[in-house]
A and B are shown apart, each in its own frame.
Chain A
Amino acid sequence: DAKTTQPPSMDCAEGRAANLPCNHSTISGNEYVYWYRQIHSQGPQYIIHGLKNNETNEMASLIITEDRKSSTLILPHATLRDTAVYYCTRINFNKFYFGSGTKLNVKP
């Protein structure tokens, strides 16, 4: 079972940090966790990925628990343009399994 579990929606105030959780309790040792987001009418956009260690890039930070069963994507200062559906996925033999994602609503 290569599924991930995410809340269907979240709200965040503009300028505040958005913390999006993901559960991937069945992840195996060599599977990376990937995060993508999809803005309306566009294709999914790559954000970040990680295996064990926390990762940071210009878009976001990824915090992975020590047991790797869950992770959190952090957008440090959310803007209205960050309103999108955020997908937490895992890759298994080159195959991504996308769930329904989390709809993040950034409000002014």
Chain B
Amino acid sequence: EAGVVQSPRYKIIEKKQPVAFWCNPISGHNTLYWYRQNLGQGPELLIRYENEEAVDDSQLPKDRFSAERLKGVDSTLKIQPAELGDSAVYLCASSSPEGLAIHTSTDTQYFGPGTRLTVL
């Protein structure tokens, strides 16, 4: 079974430029997550989708970040314009929680390899 696919793996841009990351989750997984991981730290959740609905975007900096999951499968995360502090690894994860999706306490998430963004 194919895992979570992300592209590109690496991206180098100058500040103020736009950038987009793409994620294809594991087949059949309805829940999709975007995380940001700064150097030396654990991942931090940016946004969570249940199918095509963003159910938790409280940590997404909405002034410059946007995300979409139009058909409830693939997802795109965009930054416009990028700032120096956006340099990080952007991880996508997917899961297929059992039971009630919102209130379950078990939710094994499977991560993609990430996109390493460097903003110059």
Chain A residues packing against B (C-beta within 8 Å): 30-32, 34, 36, 41-46, 49, 51, 87, 89, 91-96, 98-101
Expressed in whole angstroms, the Cα–Cα distance for A98 and B45 within the complex equals 9
Partner of B42, one of A34, A87, A91, A95: A87
On chain B, the residues within 8 Å of A91 by CB distance are 105-107
Chain B residues packing against A (C-beta within 8 Å): 4, 31, 40-45, 48, 56, 91, 93, 97, 101-114, 116
Which of chain A's residues has its CB closest to B108's CB? A46
13 example contacts (A-B, Cβ-Cβ < 8 A) are as follows A41-B113, A42-B114, A43-B91, A44-B91, A44-B93, A46-B109, A46-B110, A49-B108, A87-B42, A93-B102, A93-B103, A94-B104, A96-B45
Closest Cβ–Cβ distance, residue A52 to chain B (whole Å) = 12
On chain B, the residues within 8 Å of A87 by CB distance are 42
Query: Are the CB atoms of A49 and B106 closer together than 8 Å?
Result: yes
Closest Cβ–Cβ distance, residue A19 to chain B (whole Å) = 20
Partner of A100, one of B41, B102, B108: B41
Main secondary structure of the interface of A (DSSP, over half): loop
Query: Are the CB atoms of A32 and B48 closer together than 8 Å?
Result: no
Partner of B108, one of A31, A34, A41: A34
Partner of B56, one of A30, A94, A99, A100: A94
Partner of A98, one of B42, B102, B108: B42
On chain B, the residues within 8 Å of A92 by CB distance are 105
